[in-house]
Amino acid sequence: MSAAKSLLVTGGSRGIGAAISLLAAQCGWRVAVNYARNEAAANEVVARIVRDGGEAFALRGDVGHEADIISMFAEVEHRFGRVDALVNNAGVVDRKARVDQMDAGRLERMMRVNLIGTIIAAREAVKRMSTVHGGRGGVIVNISSVAARLGSPDEYADYAAAKAGVEAFTVGLAREVALEGIRVNCVRPGTIDTEIHASGGQPDRAQRVSAAIPMKRPGTATEVAEAVLYLLSDAASYSTGSILEVSGGR
Ligand code: NAP
């Protein structure tokens, strides 16, 4: 078995997740690049990693489905022998809407993918990493959003609520497993230039909200990835339960 540590990045095929996968491979991690639908994008990330001498594979699975998450962890163990780290990055937004326009189906999807998927994936990671379960420890990094702090009124307060849940869960789990060899932290990005805005029907959103950002520009996916790789690394050995802001001062 390779000595390199193995990492599962949910939603690792595009945007911030792709940047995390690529940077992690450069830092020596073996990377399972999860995707839900766009297999070509995942294969492209894997090809770039392999071309540069790294190790990675594309892993289909919808984090909105418990069975998919369980199969994903089994596959990572099968391919890499173990799971040393998890980045809970997969996330979705919906159309801009007021709360009085949101139906239960939308709310259920927001919570299922953004919050419940994060918790179930962390559960599967803890089962394998915790020294209580015979594991050798590990690291979990969750991705929230400044929406958790700003509330996203008139846009997606449901998404904001899910991301606030991710942050509370980060603190709770971090304290729960602090003596079991597992660090759990969170990166809280501001507005980042990715395709997520177009998926919510606002392709120009990143540029449009720049005026409200003290640095007057959206962040890049790589700038978020740098923060994630720090928290994954031993350089962050005394950090757990922390929320690292990457938002241009917003
Ligand atoms: P993105 O460009 O839309 O990419 C989303 C990624 O997640 C894709 O790889 C996608 O795979 C995957 N994904 C979506 N639904 C999934 C599911 N149900 N199961 C598994 N994978 C799924 O998004 P992004 O902007 O990089 O966002 C990444 C994370 O950062 C999210 O948690 C988001 O909430 C958070 N965030 C983003 C911003 C921002 O401004 N961009 C700001 C704050 C926080 P497929 O292509 O196969 O569907």
Q: What is the pLDDT of residues 67-117, one digit of tens each?
A: 999 999 999 999 999 999 999 999 999 999 999 999 999 999 999 999 999
The DSSP letter of residue 219 is B
Task: Give the Å distances, CA to CA, from 143 to 92, 133, 231, 242, 243.
Answer: 12, 25, 12, 12, 9
Give the Å distance between the CA of 89 and the centre of ligand 1: 7
The overall average pLDDT reported for the chain is 97
Please determine, for residue 1, whether its predicted confidence score (pLDDT) is greater than 70. no
d(CA 157, CA 166) in angstroms, rounded, equals 14
User: Which listed residue (35, 156, 159, 238) is catalytic?
Assistant: 159
Q: Is the pLDDT of residue 19 over 70?
A: yes
pLDDT digits (tens, 9 = 90+) for 126-175: 999 999 999 999 999 999 999 999 999 999 999 999 999 999 999 999 99
**Percent of the chain beyond pLDDT 70?**
99
Give the mean model confidence (pLDDT) for residues 44-69: 98
Decide if pLDDT at 57 tops 90: yes
SS3 content of the chain, % helix, strand, coil (to 5): 50, 15, 35
Residue 147 alpha carbon, nearest atom of ligand 1: 43
Give how many domains the chain has, as a whole number: 1
CA of 16 to the centre of ligand 1 (A): 7
Residue 131: which residues within 8 A CB-CB, separation 6 or more?
Answer: 137, 180, 181
Cα dist from 75 to 32, 104, 242, whole Å: 9, 33, 29
Q: What is the mean pLDDT of residues 121-125?
A: 99
In a domain, 1, yes or no: no
Q: Is 238 noted as a catalytic residue in this protein?
A: no
Here the CATH number for the domain that contains residue 41 is 3.40.50.720
pLDDT at 5 over 70: yes
* Cβ–Cβ under 8 Å, residues 157 and 151: yes
Q: Specify the pLDDT at position 3.
A: 78
**Domain range for 223:** 6-246
Q: How far apart are CA 161 and CA 152, in angstroms?
A: 9
- The predicted model gives 217-224 an average pLDDT of 98
In a domain, 117, yes or no: yes
Q: Is the CB of 207 under 6 A from ligand 1?
A: no
Q: Is residue 197 part of a domain?
A: yes
pLDDT value for 2: 67
- Please indicate, yes or no, if residue 230 is contained in any of the structural domains: yes
Does some domain include residue 160?
Answer: yes
In this model, does residue 237 exceed pLDDT 90?
A: yes
